[in-house]
Amino acid sequence: MQQLKALTREAQDLASSAPNRPAGGGQPKPARVIPLTPNEAEVARQMQICNACRYCEGFCAVFPAMTRRLEFPKADINYLANLCHNCGACYHACQYAPPHEFALNVPQAMARVRGDTYAEYAWPQAFGALYKRNGLTVALALAAGLALFLALVIGRAGSLFQAQPGGNFYAIFPHNMLAAIFGAVFAFAVIALGVGVTRFWRDVSPGAASGAAVGETAKNVLALTYLDGGHGDGCNEADDKFTLARRRFHHFTFYGFMSCFAATAVATLYHYLLGLHAPYALDSLPVILGTVGGIGLLIGPAGLLWLNLQRDPKRGDPAQRAMDRGFIALLLVVAATGLGLLAVRENAAMPLLLALHLGAVIALFATLPYGKFAHGIFRTAALLKSAIEKRQPNRLQLGSD
Amino acid sequence: MVDVLVIGGGNAALCAALMAREAGASVLLLESAPREWRGGNSSHTRNLRCMHDAPQDVLVDAYPEEEYWQDLLKVTGGITNEKLARMVIRASSTCRPWMQKHGVRFQPPLSGALHVARTNAFFMGGGKALVNAYYRSAENMGVQIRYQTPVDAIELKDGRFVAARSGSQRFEARACVLAAGGFESNLEWMREAWGVNERGEWPADNFLIRGTRYNMGVLLKYMIDAGADVIGDPTQAHCVAIDARAPLYDGGICTRIDCVSLGVVLNRNGERFYDEGEDFWPKRYAIWGRLVAQQPSQIGYSIIDSKAIGRFMPPVFPGIKADTLPELAQKLGLPEQTFLRTIEDYNAACRVGTFDHTALDDCHTEGLAPPKTHWARPINVGPFYGYALRPGITFTYLGLKVNEEAAVHFNGKPSDNLFVAGEMMAGNVLGKGYTAGVGMSIGTAFGRIAGTQAARAAAARQQTGVEHAAA
């Protein structure tokens, strides 16, 4: 707990020392001009052209936010990049896309900056480098997680292949031991992501959030509003055709994840509040939630992987493929081993599968702040900024074109 | 042999192809551009001017037929065909459900375009999204599409279409729709059309083409030479003042400069030449292309001071910036003394009341020629900005004469299987001038008419066996 407190304090210090920006404007104080990275400069170049065209205003929140600005300094670029859902609509609709000499490819430019912002806002800062080689990060975390739990199983049960009557996991790992390991890793993930997103928030601070702004953000996050293309037909994958597949598979993934999370939370309450200890019956709430969530986490990531493989490669950042696919693969392993565990929990394969499952889960948790998962946190923050900002009067009075 | 051959790949061509296919005809569409440049000028458009008697989804209030007609009459100075114009106007009130059926989506007006919230329905994502939707729908319906197939000749027999040729390829069809655009991309033809001015300059040498690079006018020229009836003046075009640094082709919407009415515009000699504050910029931008074309070297310079910043749509390229007026004159390469005298005279003539760039305000000049009748404020707060302007041609109005069936005419007689739509005949309705979104109204109305008529003509020829006699 000592350590946790210290981490939290450090987080707060970091957050409050971040550069402050005037509320409402979204423009930086002229005194502080931070040089742009090449990826950011490319977004600034493209936004300058987009801002003179504006045909894409109806697709998503990025372009309306753009029209409130005349210049695009670093923090604003980071904000816009995280607001972008990479739906692809603006790329396929762009009269200035390659081979035009203006060479606009907003989804790709935004994706590159987005990847950089995850690394840049990562906490601890040194861990930001993990994004750059995220495939390796995930693989190493998985290997370490598996090694840890396999060794623990062998050390404690003496064998990887020994049936436990009633499917009792806690015969292998005591509940408190699991709670301590996962609690610590999860708390670290929450703090690390919390620090990162707080710094991101402070960089373009649009002011206080109204209830309406929060409500709109919640809807945009939970319904994935901006994967509908603005017209409800969906987003683009392989070509200019619109499809709702990505939104639907993402819903399977997100709600599957939340259902699994709820299963764990309910089980924790059962354990500590009601004194009901696992293993739970097949028709108990934790098992039902976990099973439903696990199925969602098989369908969703499998669909997202399929879409990822056929998506127009020109539209994204190829350097982030390992991150995207690594996260998807990890979710699939967690879901498959979790469901498998339910199926074989009474027989001799259980200890091995349990070690595989827990190893994958710990790898997932440990890499949450340094992988694809972070997009959900930063995207939510960007959407909230946008919901606040759009409710404020526009400083610009640009007149008519 | 296909029933209907459509030559061209923009809005009018696609409307024709879709209508012909819906009528049951087999359709082949030939687009001269490669796939990534398909769609011609339609890819640069953003809205459709629509008649409506009551509020509709994205259109507020009403825009009745008579008002639309009066607007058209005004901008064309009467150089229009009332019967055809009213057909276009009425068609614009009923075509949108059909467009939506084929995947086109509409959105409320873009920021900066609220002044047309009543009259114009914006395509979500702009014209390229519309073009993409039409191509997808055409492919799904079985329209055959060939890219990189520029037609260079038409075989005609007694005013009837027989076949089209693209290099060594020959395409026979029972009926044909020509929708291959104007000739604005053909710099040689533009040069010849504009000729030499009184200063011995070839004005068109300094024009930029806002639109597609593929409208070479090959088909238009072929038809004119083949004796098709022609309408329009070859120097008339949608011509606006754009940033002189814009690319030669395909600069599109973003090369516009919207600060003209907030400052003054000088020519190469450092002199003003027209009332910059005559009316709101959206009502005036289409005349400034010709105004600049009439100036020496076909160049103008829009000059503003810091008071104008944040009051106009951001231009694609940053302006030339200087802390003082003499420095700005130097940076723009203008004669410093005349430049300064022009600005001084203007500043002294300004009668500043209550400035409001969103209304026809009372800031004007007195005793200045030419006057500036609105938004006249002294140019005196640095830094100062200058934008060089060139005439930017979007599309030409010279075209083929048509009737209500969109038929091509030879010596006043309509062809029974050759039709024309889009820029190739827009001059029937639009003799000069422009009003936002009317090009797409004409292209959509006549594209659909031409497609329907072509399908009908093809069916008739098949029934009567004319093709066997012809073959």
pLDDT for B122-163, tens place per residue?
Answer: 999 999 999 999 999 999 999 999 999 999 999 999 999 999
Examine the pLDDT at A9 and tell me if it is beyond 60. Answer: no
B256 vs A401: CB contact, 8 Å cut-off? yes
Task: Report whether pLDDT(A10) > 80.
Answer: no
Give the model's confidence band at A352: pLDDT under 50 very low, under 70 low, under 90 confident, else very high: confident
CA distance A45 to chain B (A): 9
Return the residue in B254, B255, B283, B440 with the most chain A beta carbons within 10 A, the one to mutate for interface testing. Answer: B254
Mean pLDDT rounded to a whole number for chain B? 95
Which residues from chain A sit within 8 angstroms of residue B311, using beta carbons?
397-399
Separation of alpha carbons A382 and A78, rounded Å: 9
In angstroms, what separates the C-alpha of A234 from chain B's closest C-alpha? 12
Residue of B nearest to A47 (CA): B316
> Per-residue pLDDT averaged across B21-33, rounded?
98
State the pLDDT at residue B465: 64
Chain A residues in contact with B255 (beta carbon < 8 A):
52
**B43 contacts in chain A (CB < 8 Å):** 95
| pLDDT tens digits for range A205-225 | 788 999 999 999 999 999 999
Please give the C-alpha separations between residue A392 and each of A23, A82, A395, B309, in angstroms, as whole numbers.
Answer: 10, 20, 9, 20
Whether B292 shows a pLDDT value over 70: the answer reads: yes
Task: Output the pLDDT for position B97.
Answer: 98
pLDDT of residue A1: 41
Q: Greater confidence, A33 or B7?
A: B7
Q: Tell me the pLDDT band of A19, cut-offs 50, 70 and 90.
A: very low
Query: If you average pLDDT over residues B401-426, what whole number do you get?
Result: 98
Query: Among B380, B370, B392, B356, which residue's Cα sits nearest to residue B265?
Result: B370
How confident is the model over B357-396, as pLDDT tens digits?
Answer: 989 999 999 999 999 999 999 999 999 999 999 999 999 9
| CB-closest option in A70, A233, A400 to B113 | A400
**Residue A32's pLDDT band (cuts 50, 70, 90):** low
Is residue B243 predicted with pLDDT exceeding 90? yes
Size of interface A-B (CB pairs under 8 A): 124
Domain B239-392 indexed as CATH 3.90.700.10: yes
Contact B125 A397 (CB under 8 A): no
Q: Which of A95, A102, A240 sits opposite B126 (nearest CB)?
A: A95
Instruction: Judge if pTM exceeds 0.90.
Output: yes
Q: Is the pLDDT of residue A168 over 60?
A: yes
User: Is any Cβ of chain B less than 8 angstroms from the Cβ of A49?
Assistant: yes
Q: B359: nearest CA in chain A?
A: A399
ipTM over 0.90: yes
Give CA–CA dist A73/A37, Å, rounded. Answer: 11
Which of A76-85, B259-268, B455-464 is least confident?
A: B455-464
Asked whether residue A174 carries a pLDDT value surpassing 70, the answer given is: yes
A143 interfaces chain B, CB cutoff of 8 Å: no
Query: How high is the pLDDT of residue A14?
Result: 43
pLDDT of A346 reads 84
Residues A73-116: tens digit of each pLDDT: 999 999 999 999 999 999 999 999 999 999 999 999 999 999 99
Section A288-301 average pLDDT: 97
> Is any Cβ of chain B less than 8 angstroms from the Cβ of A30?
no
CA dihedral B13, B15, B17, B21 (to 10 degrees): 180
CATH number, span B2-182+217-236+397-470: 3.50.50.60
Nearest to A231 among B124, B256, B357 (CB): B124
Distance CA B66, CA B71 (A): 9
- B contacts of A96 (beta carbons < 8 Å): 252, 254
pLDDT, tens digit (0-9, with 9 covering 90-100), for A187-197: 999 999 999 99
Q: Does A376 touch chain B (CB under 8 A)?
A: no
Segments making up each domain of chain A, as ranges = 20-122, 127-388
Query: How confident is the model over A363-370, as a mean pLDDT?
Result: 90
Q: Are A392 and A209 in contact (CB under 8 A)?
A: no
Give the pLDDT score at A28. Answer: 42
| Res A338: pLDDT | 93
Q: What is the number of other CB atoms lying within 10 angstroms of the CB of residue A236?
A: 25
> Is the pLDDT assigned to residue A118 strictly greater than 70?
yes
Question: Cβ-count burial of B188 within 10 angstroms (0-12 exposed, 13-18 middle, 19+ buried)?
Answer: exposed
Count of CA atoms in the C-beta half-sphere (13 A) of B53: 4
Alpha carbons A265 and A283: distance in angstroms, whole number: 17
What percent of chain B shows pLDDT beyond 90?
93
Distances (CA, A) of A289 to A73, A92, A262: 45, 40, 7
Of B136, B256, B318, the CB nearest to A240: B136
Residue B112 and residue A398: Cβ atoms within 8 Å? yes
Q: A314: distance to nearest CA of chain B, Å? A: 14
pLDDT given for residue A7 in this prediction? 47
Instruction: Express each pLDDT in A131-153 by its tens digit.
Output: 888 888 888 888 888 888 888 88
Contact yes or no for A397 and B358 at CB 8 A: yes
Amino acid B336: pLDDT: 97
Do A230 and B108 count as a contact with CB atoms less than 8 A apart? Answer: no
Query: Pick the residue with more confidence: B200 or A14?
Result: B200
Angle at Cα A338 formed by Cα A140 and Cα A293, nearest 5°?
110
Bigger pLDDT: B283 or B352? B352
pLDDT at A30 over 60: no
Which of A48, A56, A89 has its CB closest to that of B316?
A48
Q: Does A94 contact B at CB distance below 8 Å?
A: yes
Q: Which residues of B touch A102 (CB under 8 A)?
A: 247
Q: DSSP secondary-structure letter at A255?
A: H
Best to test chain B binding among A48, A50, A51, A55 (most B CBs inside 10 Å): A55
Domain boundaries, chain B: 2-182+217-236+397-470, 239-392
Give pLDDT, residue B74: 94
Q: Nearest Cβ partner of A95 from B252, B282, B311?
A: B252
Main-chain dihedrals φ then ψ at residue B41, nearest 5 degrees: -70, -20
Instruction: Report how far residue A172's alpha carbon sits from residue A154's, in angstroms, rounded to the nearest whole number.
Output: 9
